[in-house]
Amino acid sequence: MNADDACGFCTNITEGTFDVVARGTGVIAVLDRHPINRGHVLVLPTRHAPDLTALHPTEISEMVVVAQRADRAIRNVFGNAVEGTNLLMSNGAAADQGVPHAHLHVIPRATGDGYEFREDASRYPLVPLDAAERAALSSELDSTN
């Protein structure tokens, strides 16, 4: 079995069971089946890629452009009911990625909508990066494509 066979998103793409609201060259935008708020859209590549690191630069670019279009459309359709949006991508189970297929959430937001990111302030301040960690991170960022 290949990765596509085990992926629910790939199955939905193949079977045409997503509620597709936009198509691009290598991505689609679909209505989330378990929306946080009305109008919640997912933007995902049509090719199986488990997370951000597995995406091609062209897929990433197209995902961001389609997410921007989705954001504008959500604001236009729902008007003043949408006070802002969250764009969210989780990568890996520890980051709460529920489906192992890269996808970018475009979530309409309004004050008091009940959805919030919670942060444990008791964890702060974190130990800053030491010089070697900072240098290694900078080097990796400079050398990766």
Catalytic residues: 103
Q: Which tokens sit at 89?
A: 């991508």
Amino acid at 74: I
The SS3 of residue 22 is strand
Separation CA 7–CA 58 (nearest Å): 22
Separation CA 50–CA 55 (nearest Å): 8
φ, ψ dihedrals at 75, nearest 5°: -65, -40
Q: Are 86 and 107 in contact (CB under 8 A)?
A: yes
